[in-house]
Amino acid sequence: MPFAKCSPDSVEAFRIAPDSTNYFAILFDKTAGDYASIAVVEIFEPGGATPPNTHTDADEMFFVLSGTGRAWCDGQSCELKAGDALLVKPGSEHVLENTGTNKLYTLTVMTPDEDFGKLIRSGVPVKLDAEDLAVLCGGSQ
């Protein structure tokens, strides 16, 4: 099949580690269809953040669907809100954090995958709650 379709009832979600303050609802990855990229909705709990990380060859794009946050990249920071997009180049150390009182949701796409999907899927399964599903389904919170 030359394309893939994802729907909220088929989405799998994982925390990379039990104590992670963010988790990932996988839309497309190598496991779901042998794609070179990965697309997830990344969900940050209030106060949650990614650990500092870099990618060797991948561009990573974050598009804020809902909530507010801050991005740190190579020592610089910027505020993020719904509708903002951020593109991180390979080799740039970066952190995203939720600075709001509600969850922060980003559409996160990494090209190429660099086994990010494999890392996510090796984590702890998460059951998406009603708020998560509302964002995935395009509803309001």
Q: What value does the mean pLDDT of the chain take?
A: 91
On the question of pLDDT at 14 being above 50, the answer is: yes
pTM over 0.95? The answer is no
pLDDT of residue 54: 95
Q: Sorting pLDDT into bands at 50, 70 and 90, what band is 9?
A: confident
- Two structure tokens written together for 114: 């660099």
End-to-end CA distance of the chain: 34
Domain ranges (residues) in the chain: 12-136
Q: What does 61-129 look like in DSSP terms, one character per residue?
A: EEEEEESEEEEEETTEEEEEETT-EEEE-TT--EEEEE-SSS-EEEEEEEES-TTHHHHHHTSEE----
| CB-CB neighbours of 62 under 10 Å | 23
Q: Is the pLDDT of residue 6 over 80?
A: no
85, 64 contact by CB (below 8 A): yes
The CATH number, out of the four listed (2.130.10.10, 3.40.1350.10, 2.60.120.10, 2.60.40.1120), of the domain defined by the range 12-136: 2.60.120.10
Report pLDDT for 32: 77
Q: How many residues does the chain have?
A: 141
Q: Indicate whether 79 pLDDT > 80.
A: yes
